[in-house]
Amino acid sequence: MEVYIDGACKNNGKPLAKASYGIFWEPNNIKNINGPVPESYKQTNNTGELYAAVKCLQQIHENQLSNIIIKTDSEYLVRGITNDIVYWKSNNWKLKSSGNDVKNKELWSEIDNLLSNIKVTWAHVARDSEIGQIEADKLAKLALNIKTSGNTVQANNNSIVNVCVTTLNGPTMKRKLYR
C-alpha cells in the first residue's frame, strides 16, 4: 500500500511563516488528513515535511498497517531517514562537519522512535509526478488557510469539510472549506 505525504509553508524563512502537512492514502479515505504544524516547531517547509512523516507513521501504528511505501517529494526527508539518521543518532544528534545540533532534531528523533517498531519503505517522487503526490500537496496547502491551534482536519476528495476555528481573542465559529 502506498501513502503520499507533503509539507507546505507560507512565508517560508520569514517571521510570520506558517507550516502545514498533508497525507493522502487514496480517494475518499478517512485517513487522508491535513493540518498545521504546531507552533512549538519552527515553521518551515522542512518541518512541514517532517511533521507529515510523524503523523503518517502515527497512523500506521494506530491502524496496525504493514508493507507501506511512504512517498514524498522531499529529498531532505528521504535522504535524512535512509542515510543521515544513522550517523546523527550515533553522534548524539550532532552534525559531523560542524558539531552543531541537527536541524529539526526533535522531529527527526520522533520519526526514529516511531520507526522502531515498524518497517516502511521510503520513496522519493518528483513533485507533481503522481496523482497521490498532487493530492497530498493540495491537502497541505489547504491547511495553510486554516486558522487553528493545531487541530487536525480530515478531508476527502471533492468534499466540504466542517472545521471549528478558534480565532485569537475571538469566538469559536464553524467554517466550511471547499475542496
pLDDT tens for residues 124-149? 999 888 999 999 999 999 999 876 54
How far apart CA 57 and CA 164 sit, in angstroms, is 25
Against a cut of 0.75, is the pTM above it? Answer: yes
Q: At what angle do helices 45-62 and 105-115 cross, to 10 degrees?
A: 20
Number of residues that this document lists for the chain: 179
d(CA 89, CA 41) in angstroms, rounded, equals: 20
What percentage of the chain has pLDDT greater than the value 70? 82
pLDDT at 145: 85
- State the chain's mean pLDDT as an integer: 85
- Ramachandran category for residue 9: left, alpha or beta (phi over 0 → left; psi -120 to 50 → alpha): beta
Give the pLDDT of residue 147.
Answer: 64
Closest listed residue to residue 135, CA positions, set 33, 1, 19: 33
| Least confident segment among 90-99, 117-126, 134-143, 146-155 | 146-155
At the fourth CATH level, the homologous superfamily of domain 2-178 is: Ribonuclease H-like superfamily/Ribonuclease H (3.30.420.10)
Mean pLDDT, to the nearest integer, of 12-16?
91
From the list 123, 105, 9, the residue with the least C-alpha distance to 56 is 123
* Each residue's pLDDT tens digit, 62-91: 999 999 999 999 999 999 999 999 999 999
Cell of 135: 493530492
Residue 171 has pLDDT above 80, yes or no: no
pLDDT for the residue numbered 42: 95
More confident residue, 70 or 95: 70
pLDDT at 165: 39
Residue 99's pLDDT band (cuts 50, 70, 90): confident
The pLDDT value recorded for residue 24 is 98
